[in-house]
Amino acid sequence: MRLIYEKSKAGRRASSLPRYDIPKAEVPEELRRTAAPRLPEISEPDLVRHFTALADRNFGVDTGFYPLGSCTMKHNPRVNERVVNLPGFRDLHPYQEEEASQGALELMWRLQEILAEVCGLDAVSLQPAAGSQGELTGLMLMRAYFADRGEADERRVVITADTAHGTNPASVAMAGFELKKVETDDRGNLDLDDLRAKVDGRTAGLMLTNPSTLGLFDEHIAEVSAIFHDAGALLYYDGANLNAVCGISRPGDMGFDIVHINLHKTFSQPHGGGGPGGGPIVVRDILEPFLPVPAVVRDGDDFRLDHDRPKSIGKVRGFCGPFGVFVRSYAYIRAYGPGLREMSEAAVLNANYLLARLKDDYDLPFDRLCMHEFVLSASNLKREHGITALDVAKRLMDHGFHPPTIYFPLIVPEALMIEPTETEAKETLDAFIEAMRAIAAEAATDPAAIKDAPHKRPVRRLDEVKAAKRAVVKFGFDEHPDLAPVKAEAGGEAIEAAKGA
Ligand SMILES: Cc1ncc(COP(=O)(O)O)c(C=O)c1O
């Protein structure tokens, strides 16, 4: 596909307006451009076709099944968009006075109440803008808690699982803690012996995803909780997989003291490519004084922002957080009425249906009932036919599906992490099963067809390292000098990437 700069023809415009008969604005000399901006010049129909063609090349949850494990790519109900576009929400200014924002404050307060109930904990801050920012905020609360008790110098270590998402160790380091990793046992639980050996008076807390990134609920969670609490440490729940347990089991009841929720995953919000998201923090009462300010509170029938929290860690984001995400999450939750558990039950059922029908064609490292996702391995295909998880993922694109998460969690070789979510119909799941089985069969009969995949997508197989490390994201005007090394590396040839990526 040609770039918009290549389609540009001097003098073409996407709109034409009559000349103004008002005097030109005087722009001070020092602020004037010396040359006109180099923008593409194109007619409106060609402009619309260009961007529509680009959009058509994209794959999203509205295009097809998107079983990206741990990312919970569920359908985003359109009613949420209607609600978030109500003028009272849409046109609200963050600096609007409290008396004129009562509806928005009430929505935030109600969302906080629901999240506290779902987690079985006491207090909420909606501020963090993503799960990862929630992690950092939660660990800062942990640090503030121990500092307040005069234990900041001793409580230096946070323990994570070897299945943890990469953001967990990153957050531990950013929050100034030392990291220790605990291994996973043969059934996919935390290895209790390894854990006991690592918890001591220096431990500040555990950071755990439960169900884990293997899609397995830790069978010893009560014992794990006792080990940490007996040592005076806290438990942090990475809520990325909360979709599996809403209304069924609560992190607070499992023993967790701090939880982040990925609103964009669990409660539907168009996401991907890094945003937009919401990562509220939910805590036990002992941690409430440290939560970010302002807190959204209720006084009788009124709602207000409370800045008077002397022990607060301060603000972690502008204003009260990503308000549009709150409205969509609230709408999604209320659409289930009191039966939110139905959401999680359907998600778990869908995952177990897929698992039961795929486990004969792929390796299954932990043969247990799964929660809302599960991890297969393409090790059998690699051993027998040289076909890897990456090959399977690429071939799935030819069948019209987004690939699952691959090569994660790290402890499973050739991992394929599959999460169907509750919003998919049985026919879709069956079509996916057929595709996965067809690929497993094809690995034996025509492995070359898989190795070359995708055959039917606009972009074939990329050099992914180069695409990530050498992304060229601007047009290569002739006088741009900095593309020379890229061209030189391609033997002086003009390469497609040199004009944009
Ligand atoms: C298990 C787990 N923890 C944390 C995160 C980070 O969440 P976010 O993408 O909202 O920053 C993710 C994201 O995929 C995740 O899967």
Confidence (pLDDT) at 498: 37
pTM of the model: 0.91
**Residue whose pair of structure tokens reads 């944009």 in the numeric block:** 500
Task: Give me ligand 1 centre to Cα 107, in Å.
Answer: 25
d(CA 383, CA 380): 5
* CA distance to 38, 43, 430, per residue, from 16 (Å): 19, 10, 52
Q: Apex CA 481: angle with CA 478 and CA 483, to 5°?
A: 90
pLDDT in tens, 234-268: 999 999 999 999 999 999 999 999 999 999 999 99
How crowded is residue 203: how many other Cβ atoms within 10 Å of its Cβ?
Answer: 23
**Which pLDDT score, from 0 to 100, does residue 463 have?**
86
* pLDDT (tens digit per residue) in 263-282: 999 999 888 765 589 999 99
pLDDT for res 464: 83
Contact predicate 222/175, CB 8 Å: no
- Angle between helical axes of 389-398 and 426-445 (0-180°, round to 10): 120
Q: What is the reported pLDDT for 500?
A: 34
Residue 70 vs residues 73, 314, 436: alpha-carbon distances, Å: 9, 30, 19
d(CA 258, CA 400) in angstroms, rounded, equals 40
- Count CB atoms within 10 A of the CB of residue 344: 21
Helix H or strand E encompassing 167: helix 167-174
Which residues form the pocket of ligand 1, taking CB atoms under 6 Å from any ligand atom? 70-71, 130-132, 165, 167, 209, 213, 238, 240, 262, 277, 279
* Structure-token match 């609490």, residue found: 229
Whether 279 and 128 have beta carbons less than 8 Å apart is answered as yes
Pairing of strands 234-239, 258-261: parallel
| Cβ contact 205:238 at 8 Å | no
Kindly report the average pLDDT of the chain as a whole number: 93
| pLDDT (0 to 100) of residue 489 | 61
Please tell me the predicted confidence (pLDDT) of residue 484: 54
Structure token digits, residue 113: 């109440």
Ligand 1 pocket test target in 66, 68, 70 with most atoms within 8 Å of CB: 70
Q: Whose CA is nearest to atom 13 of ligand 1?
A: 71
CA 131 to centroid of ligand 1, rounded, Å = 5
277 CA: nearest ligand 1 atom: 10
Residues of the chain with pLDDT under 70: 273-275, 479-501
Work out the number of other CB atoms within 10 angstroms of the CB of residue 470. 13
Give the separation between CA 213 and CA 196, rounded to whole angstroms.
Answer: 22
Atom number of ligand 1 nearest to Cα 265: 10
| Closest-CA residue to 326 (of 101, 167, 68, 121) | 101
